[in-house]
Structure 1
Amino acid sequence: MHDMTPRHRPSSERFPGLRRRGFLAASLGALALTGCGGSGDGGGADKGGGAPKRGGRLRAAFAGGGAGETLDPHLSNLFADVARAKALFDKLADYGADLSARPRLAEKWEPNKTLDRWRVTLREATFHDGEPVTAEDVLYSYRRIADPKQAFRAKASLEPIDLDASRATGQRTVEFVLKRPTAEFPNVMAAFGAYIVPEGAAQFDRKPVGSGPFRFVSFAPGRSAVFRRNDDYWDGAPHLDEIEFVTANEESARVNALLGGQVEYAHELNPTTARAHEGKGQIEIVRLRNSAMQAFCMKTDRPPFDDERVRQAFFLIADRAELVAGALSGAGEVGNDLFGKGYEYYADGLPQREQDLDKARALLKRAGAEDLRVTLDTSAVAAGFTEAASIFRDQARKAGVTVEVKMGSKDSYWSDILDGGTLCCYRSGAMPIEAHISQRLLTDSTTNATKWRHKDFDALYQQAQSTRDKAARAAVYERMQRRLYAEGGFLVWGFADWIIGTARTVRGVETDAPANTLDWARFDKVWLA
């Protein structure tokens, strides 16, 4: 038995400055969370190197969700939720820095020849109560997530699995029966929110039991959560004695707490803050590259963007370097109208698209769209959106296009622009390119914001999923991306850095992991010097 008695005062008592700022809910918006992979213990604030040191408590400040927060890993929606969930729980697989699936609780996986059955072997791991992680726990977890009466985040990701037909073939082996060939089934196991919980577990906020690197100590929703090192963790005991997650919604509150020594880790800083403190010696700035796609979304099913020449003209209107410099304050890199720069299967052989106003005007003329007027929906819902809209409006004017910027509500923006309007600001967090295609670019995708609906494109996706040879599968994905590059509806102008601040005593923060990957917000490999 382990001592579960809370021994620490709530964070609002110890950090009054954070309490005064309030605990306003933070929305992920389109920065969808997914999984992760790989395991790193270098980089980030590890400027001096040296062997990891054991002991101490690290306090990490995240924006939170107020009194409605939960430790139920299947309900994780905010970044704070996911950071807490990965401290307490594990998934079968998770994403590496290139967004390929890496084994976690699953020691190995093997498909049949037709890719519609996968045999998964679990590693030897135990839950915090000492019970082994079994195949029945896995099936219970997935069936709980798939419950049609619930709204668990990973439900759509698990859709390819026939859970009625899937079964345990041993204590540590599961045979997953799929509804169709799925070459990228490891991505399903790594899906955001697909955590494994003990069979029968339903309540998680009082004494949650997982198999993760930390054990539960205390939880005050909207205030703090304290977890203690799990010495029996299958991937090696954490270096830290304890991790405390502190809620601080305003970026200024997180920064001030870091500068004042009240926390050692501050999540989600803006580029202006990073520039003000980088290299000054008081705190360390960690930039996670390629963490968020920044784009304009063109609706391909309605005028004027139902004409591919107009879409191609807009590709050529954009000055991507100017957008990155102005909208992201330089904290990012230019995009090339494709999702997933640097990720597995990314078509990096295509020429970098540059602004060409003369060619853009010629395309618009051939499309009969001279003197075009179009409304660009934007909102303060995400950093850089309003700035990007203003910059692009000025760029379009040089090509004879009038862009009218329309400000939308932060509360309803994502639902409003999913089906409405013709042109909007858009962003997405890290996920596999295959998941981006399946969730956003197939005819029946539920978040198909560009209304890209082409049966031949759907058929290529199914071909890729039915192709066992990885090189052949990569060739199909490249063919699909070339089509999107030529005539798609996403004008991807940049990829934003995700910025974290740490105290100078913090070591082992991974710098090569985009947000939403395993090594992002992962504290079992971090230590205090």
Structure 2
Amino acid sequence: MVAALAACGSPVAPTSSGPSSEPQPGGTITIGINSEISTLDPLANQIAGQATLVVANAVYEPLFIDGPAGALEPRLAESLTSDDLRTWTLVLQEGRTFSDGSPVTAQAVVAHVTRLGAPESECQCAALAGEISDMAVVDPATVTFTLAEPNAGFPRYFTRQLGMIASTTAKAVDGSPLGAGPYRFESAAAGSSLTVTRSSNYQGTAPHADTIVFQFLPDADSRYQSLSSGDVDLAWIDTPNLIAQAESEGHSLATANASTTTAVLNTQTAPFNDVRVRQAVQAAIDREALLAVVDQGQGAVANGPILSRSPYASGTQYPAFDPDRARALLAEVSQPISFAYTTDSRPQSIQRATAIQQMLADVGITMTIDVADTATWGTNLYSGDFEAIEFVTSAYADTDAAMGIFEAEASGNFGSYVNPEVGVLIAQGRGTADEAERKRLYADAAQRIVDDAPVLFFTESPVGFAADSSIGGMPDLHNSNVISLLPGRLWTTQ
């Protein structure tokens, strides 16, 4: 097989922390997350973010989860293999069931993928499902997928919504489809919390805690204070000062540099339709200073669309901070440059925008800061209604998918970047079974992207969970590209 993912060995064991190295059964664990979950249905996209994958992992046993250094760990799946990257064979683990005891079958997988990829679907995964030209049930545990084009990154599609196999024939009491995870829906308090309890029909390794309560705490500081006060046992943290504080206060951490901070430039409108202006802005920004001051030294500078921990990492050369080069490029343009920089209202984002504004002023560029609420920021990003916009994302965790962002017609190509040569390199890389050749092609494409500067890459930043000292089983995720915490592996002595 030229491409294969199989549960042929033991998954990487997590590093345990907490009061006891031996798992303790029973009890309740309360987890503070950064957004409200009004439905568990994968179709609604609410449990597909890094902070909410912990909810998905509780209710829907994914086919795969993200493992160390870009690897994938089979969960509900036994294997996913291909000889040509176009026809893929999925084999399910035997004996797995939904939380009502009904079997998870190949037909259930086909029905789930069909539902999420339907024309009326609002799932962010619909375009991914659209790459599948045919699905066939081989036997109760085996499905074949035929893709329109070869795609080496196809297995990773099943770490998020497409892999959260949801029953199309049975629902929980909240109306969401049943999952095959270690927990099932118990109750919800609108705008406040969601409670799940141990599923008696779960066929995997039994979870330790009886109950998991997810509290919705959108404010980062308040969420961390809830951890410090003992109101929650774990909390999602995504700001450098809180990560540093959690370390100093002795909390257990499951974090990684899994968030990439960038700015997307609209390449179809002035001033960024001129590559010299994009390159001037790129050269005028001191990313090391942003890392030191805004990110408080947490994380590392980002050097392009291929993360430093990616198996495809090959040393993309990002231009050095060089104000003189920026001024020389601007002299070639020979006209005043001004633009608006859109960001959300998080203090760290505003601080970063202010620092960038000062750096650009030093070379003669006028930048105004447009602070938008989350909804407006999202509307502007997806509609292309911006000149420059900050984009903090986990999208670069998967290199195969991230490279696709820079194809001309890609849905994630928010800045409307077009370079036909880059598109060819990406398509060739995705379609080759030779991993060394794919790495070379992606490296070539990444360097051209950085040279063209449609996106400014700032930092790879740490995000993840901090836990009270009473929680055991916290995994070591430092070498992961995506934070995907399995709550069934955690335990508490309280």
> CA–CA distance in 1 between the matches of 2:56 and 2:359?
43
> CA–CA distance in 2 between the matches of 1:258 and 1:182?
42
Quote the residue 1:128 is aligned against.
99
> CA–CA distance in 1 between the matches of 2:194 and 2:249?
31
Relative to structure 1, is the Cα distance of residues 339 and 516 closer, same or farther in structure 2, using a 3 angstrom cutoff? closer
**Alpha-carbon contact 2:224-2:237 (below 8 Å) kept:** no
Relative to structure 1, is the Cα distance of residues 55 and 410 closer, same or farther in structure 2, using a 3 angstrom cutoff? closer
- Unpaired runs of at least 5, structure 2: 1-9
Asked if 1:322 corresponds to 2:289, the answer is yes
Write out per-residue CA displacement over residues 447-479 of structure 1, whole angstroms, 9 at most, x where no aligned residue: 312221122222222212221122211211111
**Alpha-carbon contact 1:375-1:406 (below 8 Å) kept:** no
Quote the residue 1:267 is aligned against.
236
Quote the residue 1:288 is aligned against.
255
Deviation (angstroms), 1:391: 0.4
Structure 1 counterpart of 2:456, from 477, 491, 499 = 491
**Amino acid aligned to 1:520:** S
User: Partner of 2:88: helix, strand, or coil?
Assistant: strand
Deviation (angstroms), 1:393: 1.2
Structure 1 counterpart of 2:61, from 90, 95, 99 = 90
**Alpha-carbon contact 1:75-1:193 (below 8 Å) kept:** no
Relative to structure 1, is the Cα distance of residues 81 and 295 closer, same or farther in structure 2, using a 3 angstrom cutoff? closer
**Amino acid aligned to 1:111:** S
Write out per-residue CA displacement over residues 407-463 of structure 1, whole angstroms, 9 at most, x where no aligned residue: 33432112224412322222212431121222x211111231222112222222221
- Unpaired runs of at least 5, structure 1: 1-36
User: Partner of 1:156: helix, strand, or coil?
Assistant: helix
> CA–CA distance in 2 between the matches of 1:49 and 1:492?
41
Deviation (angstroms), 1:233: 3.9
Deviation (angstroms), 1:387: 1.2
> CA–CA distance in 2 between the matches of 1:262 and 1:405?
37
Deviation (angstroms), 1:352: 5.5
1:198-237 to 2 correspondences below 5 Å: 198-201=167-170, 205=174, 209-230=178-199, 233-237=202-206
Asked if 1:447 corresponds to 2:412, the answer is yes
Structure 2 counterpart of 1:159, from 130, 134, 141 = 130
Deviation (angstroms), 1:48: 6.6
> CA–CA distance in 2 between the matches of 1:488 and 1:467?
26
Asked if 1:482 corresponds to 2:447, the answer is yes
Write out per-residue CA displacement over residues 143-162 of structure 1, whole angstroms, 9 at most, x where no aligned residue: 11112223123212212112
Quote the residue 2:4 is aligned against.
none
Asked if 1:398 corresponds to 2:371, the answer is no
Structure 2 counterpart of 1:414, from 367, 378, 381 = 378
> CA–CA distance in 1 between the matches of 2:365 and 2:169?
59
**Amino acid aligned to 2:330:** L
User: Partner of 1:384: helix, strand, or coil?
Assistant: helix
> CA–CA distance in 2 between the matches of 1:503 and 1:525?
15
Relative to structure 1, is the Cα distance of residues 514 and 117 closer, same or farther in structure 2, using a 3 angstrom cutoff? same
Relative to structure 1, is the Cα distance of residues 475 and 49 closer, same or farther in structure 2, using a 3 angstrom cutoff? farther
Deviation (angstroms), 1:110: 2.0
**Alpha-carbon contact 1:327-1:384 (below 8 Å) kept:** yes
> CA–CA distance in 2 between the matches of 1:93 and 1:245?
22
Deviation (angstroms), 1:273: 3.5
Structure 1 counterpart of 2:14, from 41, 57, 63 = 41
Structure 2 counterpart of 1:256, from 210, 225, 230 = 225
Deviation (angstroms), 1:168: 0.3
How much is the aligned-residue C-alpha RMSD, in angstroms? 2.7
Write out per-residue CA displacement over residues 135-179 of structure 1, whole angstroms, 9 at most, x where no aligned residue: 0000010011112223123212212112xx311010101111211
> CA–CA distance in 1 between the matches of 2:473 and 2:339?
46
Relative to structure 1, is the Cα distance of residues 187 and 204 closer, same or farther in structure 2, using a 3 angstrom cutoff? farther
Quote the residue 2:313 is aligned against.
346
Relative to structure 1, is the Cα distance of residues 191 and 265 closer, same or farther in structure 2, using a 3 angstrom cutoff? closer
**Alpha-carbon contact 1:160-1:179 (below 8 Å) kept:** yes
**Alpha-carbon contact 1:91-1:104 (below 8 Å) kept:** yes
Asked if 1:357 corresponds to 2:323, the answer is yes
**Alpha-carbon contact 1:287-1:497 (below 8 Å) kept:** no
Quote the residue 1:103 is aligned against.
74
Deviation (angstroms), 1:56: 1.9
**Amino acid aligned to 1:41:** P
Asked if 1:521 corresponds to 2:485, the answer is yes
Work out the number of aligned pairs and report it. Answer: 479
Deviation (angstroms), 1:224: 2.6
Structure 1 counterpart of 2:248, from 271, 279, 282 = 279
**Amino acid aligned to 1:168:** V
Deviation (angstroms), 1:275: 3.8
Deviation (angstroms), 1:202: 5.7
**Alpha-carbon contact 1:157-1:191 (below 8 Å) kept:** no
Deviation (angstroms), 1:203: 6.0
**Alpha-carbon contact 1:417-1:449 (below 8 Å) kept:** yes
Deviation (angstroms), 1:399: 2.0
Of 126-135 and 266-275, the range deviating more from structure 2: 266-275
> CA–CA distance in 2 between the matches of 1:127 and 1:352?
48
**Alpha-carbon contact 2:257-2:481 (below 8 Å) kept:** no
**Alpha-carbon contact 1:269-1:501 (below 8 Å) kept:** no
Deviation (angstroms), 1:90: 2.1
Structure 2 counterpart of 1:501, from 455, 466, 478 = 466
Asked if 1:168 corresponds to 2:137, the answer is yes
User: Partner of 1:90: helix, strand, or coil?
Assistant: coil
**Amino acid aligned to 1:377:** Y
Quote the residue 1:8 is aligned against.
none
Quote the residue 2:21 is aligned against.
50
Asked if 1:74 corresponds to 2:43, the answer is yes
> CA–CA distance in 1 between the matches of 2:105 and 2:162?
19
Relative to the length of structure 1, the TM-score reads 0.83
